[in-house]
Amino acid sequence: MAYWLVTMLRTDTDTALVAAALEGSPEAADVLFERHWPRAWKAAYAVLGDRDAADDAAQRAVERTFRALDRFRPDGSFGAWIARIAVNQAIDALRRAPREQELPENVAAPDRYAEMLDRDALVAAVAGLDRDRRLVVVLRYWVDLDPPEIAERLGVPVGTVSSRLSRALADLREKLDGVTR
């Protein structure tokens, strides 16, 4: 592929890249993937707290996203859309897992993503939260759902969402206090 084409595609907006991908441009699809894979993976990892499960959920999210490109709303954010799909895939993975299995208390950063996670200590701190608190933080701040939407998605009362969110934020402040000092 010509250098000028790659350069042009990398500077295009997501909306233009989606349009080009829909017209059959594998280069546009590659640029969309490169741009948004880290966000999809971070969202899945934050929900699941496990790198292998996050890899799987993010991969399923990317596949679903690219199969549904024709449903992307040009007035929306492609990054937010793929992150929301990744979170949904991660939540579905949690639901499929046996309820007795708990995620590890402290999740170690995966080697190949160590640099990405080092730049974003918050991702690791969120991943270390218990499952219920982690879900409300991800849905509220990364997927940008409001508490009633979160309550509906998780099937819990709005007050429960608010309580979990409050406790999660307190936990994060405590965990990140040592990191920022």
User: What are the pLDDT digits (tens) for 49-71?
Assistant: 888 899 999 999 999 999 999 99
What is the four-CA torsion angle of 47, 53, 57, 60, rounded to 10 degrees? Answer: 180
Tokens of 139: 């849905």
Number of domains present in the structure of the chain? 1
pLDDT value for 125 = 81
pLDDT value for 93 = 87
Q: How far apart are CA 84 and CA 87, in angstroms?
A: 5
* 140 or 101, greater pLDDT: 140
- Please give the residue range of the domain that contains residue 40: 3-180
Q: How far apart are CA 157 and CA 151, in angstroms?
A: 6
C-beta separation of 150 from 88 below 8 A: no
Q: Which residue has the tokens 């679903």?
A: 64
